[in-house]
């Protein structure tokens, strides 16, 4: 298996623009997680899905952030409009049969909002 796949790997955009990050989890995994990592706040959980259904989105910073999982092999995290404080590395992770089980992380998307 290729592991968790994220795209793009790097994104530079201007304030106010819409940003869409993409994730393909490991086949057969039923949990998908979106994290954000910054030097100041570390690795924070934004939202997670179980069987394509959002379970906990309490970590989503505000209404500018939205996430979808239309099927078991694809998820998106959208920021609209983007702001400079959204600059961070965004990771997608997946796990099998339990949110407490080991999580497999993707390589991340480094987002810079100018």
Partner 1 sequence: SQKIEQNSEALNIQEGKTATLTCNYTNYSPAYLQWYRQDPGRGPVFLLLIRENEKEKRKERLKVTFDTTLKQSLFHITASQPADSATYLCAPYNQGGKLIFGQGTELSVKP
Task: List interacting residues with partner 1 (CB under 8 A).
Answer: 4, 35, 42-45, 48, 55-56, 91, 93, 99-108
Closer to partner 1 at the Cβ: 97 or 101?
Answer: 101
Coil, helix or strand at residue 85: helix
In the complex, the smallest distance separating the C-beta of residue 26 from partner 1, rounded to whole angstroms, is: 12
Smallest distance, Å, CB 43 to partner 1?
Answer: 4
Cβ neighbours, 10 Å, residue 77: 23
Q: Between 74 and 105, whose beta carbon lies closer to partner 1?
A: 105
Measured distance CA(23)–CA(108) in Å, rounded = 9
> What are φ and ψ of residue 86, in 5° steps?
-80, -10
For partner 1, the closer of residues 42 and 70 by Cβ is: 42
Shortest Å distance, C-beta 104 to partner 1: 7
22/8 Cα distance (integer angstroms) = 7
């Amino acid at each position: 298996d290729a592991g968790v796949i994220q795209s793009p790997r790097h994104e530079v955009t201007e304030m106010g623009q819409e940003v869409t990050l993409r994730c393909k989890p490991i086949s057969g995994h039923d949990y998908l997680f979106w994290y954000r990592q910054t030097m100041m706040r570390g690795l924070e959980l934004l939202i997670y899905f179980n069987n394509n259904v959002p379970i906990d989105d309490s970590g989503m910073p505000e209404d500018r952030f939205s996430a979808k999982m239309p099927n078991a092999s694809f998820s998106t995290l959208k920021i609209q409009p983007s702001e400079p404080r959204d600059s961070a590395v965004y990771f997608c992770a997946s796990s099998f049969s339990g949110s407490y089980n080991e999580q497999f992380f993707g390589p991340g998307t480094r987002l810079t909002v100018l």
